Amino acid sequence: MYTPFLLLIILVIFTTFSYSSYAADFCVADLTAQRTPYGYPCKNSSSVTSTDFVFSRFVTQGNTTNPNKLSLVRAFVDDFPALNGLNLAAVRVDMEPDGVVPLHSHPSSSEMVFVVEGSVTVGFISGLDSNIMYANKLSKGQVMVIPQGFLHFQHNSGSSNAVLFVSFASSDPGVQFVTSALFRNRFPSFLVEKTTGISQAEVRQLKARLGGTG
Ligand SMILES: *[C@@H]1O[C@H](CO)[C@@H](O)[C@H](O)[C@H]1NC(C)=O
Ligand SMILES: *[C@@H]1O[C@H](CO)[C@@H](O)[C@H](O)[C@H]1NC(C)=O
């Protein structure tokens, strides 16, 4: 009695996996089409070529001549259509000494940070009211993970340029920077004061520096 039942289970598992492996084959995004909550429709596979699976914008160092001494080159689905449906994305980060990726979060993905060059302090702040800071000074070759959604930062705490390869478990991790959300938009200054406790004078000063109004 056992054997047919077991066989049935094995058959079901096998067909499920083999089906999903075909179903998940690939789906290079057709960026001209409308995006859906599940990603983009597939580009006609007869027009997909080898080079669709290659991303070359990480080859050269980005421009770090800016107040954060930072360059971010994104490979999200909109930048690299082959990521569509693969639950993968990456960013190349270049930072001069004292360069910083300001406090931010990715609503849709955890993150893995790999130090390619330099020495970088990476930290995140836990949620659920505990607000514990978990930070490490990483050196070349080390990796740190940031759990999904938590506020985090990267700072080049070394004396040479730093390069990070950051990977995500989503082809569209999303991003929100805290200072931009507060001081780089039209969020009325009196409400910024009410909701953060930072005085309106300081809020206006930060808005002037970061390009906010109101
Ligand atoms: C994909 O392209 C081929 C060759 O150009 C064409 O024959 C086929 O109809 C296309 N399929 C779809 C779904 O557009
Ligand atoms: C880097 O960016 C700065 C500021 O936008 C600009 O002045 C400079 O020309 C850029 N350098 C290169 C090599 O593109």
The pTM of this model reads 0.83
Structural contact between residues 106 and 147, judged by C-beta atoms closer than 8 angstroms: no
CA of 196 to the centre of ligand 2 (A): 35
Ligand lying closest to the C-alpha of residue 67: 2
Q: Which neighbouring-strand residues pair with 30? A: none
Token pair of 69 as six digits: 């001494």
pLDDT(79) > 60:
yes
Per-domain residue ranges of the chain: 46-174, 181-210
Residue 6 pLDDT: 52
pLDDT digits over 147-180, tens only?
A: 999 999 999 999 999 999 999 999 889 999 999 9
Query: Whose CA is closest to 58, among 70, 48, 71, 67?
Result: 71
Q: What is the pLDDT of residue 111?
A: 98
Give the Å distances, CA to CA, from 69 to 117, 129, 151, 186, 209.
16, 32, 20, 25, 16
Mean pLDDT of 6-15: 47
Per-residue pLDDT averaged across 181-204, rounded?
Answer: 93
What is the tens place of the pLDDT at every residue in 16-28? 444 334 444 899 9
- From the CA of 102, how far away is ligand 2's center (Å)? 20
Mutate-to-test residue for ligand 2 from 61, 65, 72, highest number of ligand atoms within 8 A of CB: 65
Domain 46-174 belongs to what architecture? Answer: Sandwich (2.60)
User: Ligand 1 within 6 A of 34 CB?
Assistant: no
Which pLDDT score is estimated for 4?
Answer: 56
CA of 106 to the centre of ligand 2 (A): 28
**How much is the pLDDT for 105?**
96
* Best residue among 28, 43, 45, 46 to mutate for probing ligand 1, ranked by most atoms within 8 Å of CB: 46
Percentage of residues of the chain with pLDDT beyond 70: 89
